[in-house]
Structure 1
Amino acid sequence: MADGPFLAPHSAADRGQLSRRRVLLAGLAGSSLLALGGAGACAARDPKADLRLLEILSDLVIPDTDTPGAKATGAPAFAALALAHGMKGAQSDTLQVLEAQLDAKAGGPFRGATPAARLAALTEIDNTTVAARPPSAWGVVKSLILRGHYTSEIGASQELRYELTPGRFDPDVPVKPGERAWSSDANARNFS
């Protein structure tokens, strides 16, 4: 009887080896297919174009005012890195899915739309998807922009205010209109 990796083995010892061989071959074949699929998805995206989209979105979420906006604090680069590493539940196609939604709402390419059309498209998506569970593509990207901005030195020290209060806890501090939010609010409940 012929012997080979896919033929019936002659002994129990051969059966164990054959099983391991099949598992290894199947694993290699499967991982190769996954790698090829992932490479195709990654190759289709231009990192510079993705960063530019994140810059546009960051300017819409936290624009420059009397303090630097999200783009100036490096939030787009942080969001791009976080998306690449799957932070906050990001998938490999999160930005691609979001851009398709933005293009649909803008009635054409979101990147080429007027600032008013961009704001209208993003506002519509924000109003309908930001509280979705599991988080929508926009919910993931928005949370990364906010995290990148408010954990940066500029965001935490210039836009927010911080008052070190050792030994004292004030559970309910009134905030007057026009006052800056507190950077010591770890839960970020004051973001609108």
Structure 2
Amino acid sequence: MRVLLADDHDMVREAIAAYLTADGEIDVKAVCDAHAAFDAMQTDVSFDLVILDYQMPGMNSIEVLKRALVANGGKGVAILSGSGSPGLAKEVLDAGAVGFVPKTISGLTLLNAVKFMCAGEIFIPHDLLRESTVAPTHPLLDGLSPRQIQVLEGVCNAKTNKEIARELELEEVTIKFHVRTLCRKLEVQNRTQAALAAKSAGLF
């Protein structure tokens, strides 16, 4: 697994990189800011996961997240944050992140979260899930992020990826990533089957 980590705090960046690398299964490239992260995504083979610190100086975090999703070829991008706010977690997941990682979690939880996200899953700590007010209202939606639910609604309304991207103000490649993820989670083969499953359940 190849992971790109961007954090402007040297101690945090070096500690996380060392812990993940020590596992023996993860190759970490650590950089100090968003500019270096984009340089790495342009010059290196694509990463299985990009982890961006939310509070790096001189950057609009959500805009950088959206750009990183495109730059990394639609593969996962997660946000690392010193804040454990459910509202912030929802914001970054809505913007397309595959995970929200508070810096307060344990090293083992971080390691498992990185492997989880590299496998294409969405990560958010259980305590934030309990605090969130946006829990799914139907079993079929369990495990889908708010953004994936929006994409599923667009699919059910027979919208193309391009139309959904325009409506949600996201890149088309991000929508394709969400469609693949929700198809896997709904255990269907394609977007048509996803729409049929949702409509059969009385959603949208």
Q: Would you call these one fold, judging by a TM-score over 0.5?
A: no
TM-score, scaled to structure 1:
0.28
Structure with the bigger percentage of strand: 2
Structure with the bigger percentage of helix: 1
Larger of the two Rg values belongs to structure? 1
TM-score, scaled to structure 2:
0.27
**Which of the pair has the greater relative contact order for Cα pairs under 8 Å at 6+ separation?**
1
